[in-house]
Amino acid sequence: MKKMYLVIILSVLSQIVWAQSYQQEAKAIQKLLETEGKTWRSGDVQAHADCWSIKPYSRIIVSTTEGKTMDIDPYTMLHPPLEWVGKGGSAIHQNYKFNIQKNIAWVSHDEVSTSSDGIKSYSYEIRLLEKIKGKWKLIGQSIHFYQPQ
């Protein structure tokens, strides 16, 4: 009977530790995603590039509100055209959903972006990440712009 109680206690404790670790990883990923967006808007190209690790399998797909799809060269995240970055504005991420497995994660979230002149855009985003040398890095993303109903 004592062994059964010990097994139950150890099982509960391991679940608690796992949940805390998972939440820490989710917070680290969320912070990275917020940093990536802020550095893009501020025009800090180096800090933005530091959020990414481009791999042979990296991909960035964007679909527009007009129904067009763009396959963006992933290296654009490291060396974006200067006219694409630094335009100011802000973004709010909501409805985060995480799947974190060891050193790989995918995250979906909704984004409401507001340009510096007050125009809002809406997107559903899926972000692909890997933990490299102890730090989460983006390796790909899929962005789908939409008009709210």
Residue 16 has pLDDT above 70, yes or no: no
The helix (H) or strand (E) run that includes residue 7 is helix 2-42
Q: Among the listed ranges 3-17, 51-65, 73-87, 133-147, which one has the minimum average pLDDT value?
A: 3-17
- Which pLDDT belongs to residue 20? 66
- Which pLDDT belongs to residue 21? 82
CA–chain centroid gap for 53, Å, is: 13
Residue 14 has pLDDT above 90, yes or no: no
Query: What is the value of pTM for the model shown?
Result: 0.85
3-state secondary structure 73-109: CHHHHCCCCHHHCCCCCEEEEEEEEEEEECCEEEEEE
Domain spans, the chain: 2-146
Residues 109-134: what's their mean pLDDT?
A: 97
Q: DSSP letter at 52?
A: B
- Which pLDDT belongs to residue 33? 98
- Measured CA to CA, the distance from residue 34 to residue 23 in angstroms comes to 16
Pair of tokens at residue 105 = 């994660």
Architecture of the CATH domain 2-146: Roll (3.10)
- Which pLDDT belongs to residue 6? 54
The per-residue pLDDT for range 102-120, each reduced to its tens digit, is 999 999 999 999 999 999 9
Reported as a pLDDT band with limits 50, 70 and 90, residue 13 is: very low
For the stretch 115-122, contacts whose Cβ atoms lie closer than 8 Å and that sit 24 or more positions apart, written own/partner, are 115/87, 115/88, 115/89, 116/87, 116/88, 116/89, 121/145, 122/146, 122/147, 122/148
Selected residue with higher pLDDT from 86 and 69: 69
Residue 17 has pLDDT above 70, yes or no: no
- Which pLDDT belongs to residue 53? 98
The per-residue pLDDT for range 25-73, each reduced to its tens digit, is 999 999 999 999 999 999 999 999 999 999 999 999 999 999 999 999 9
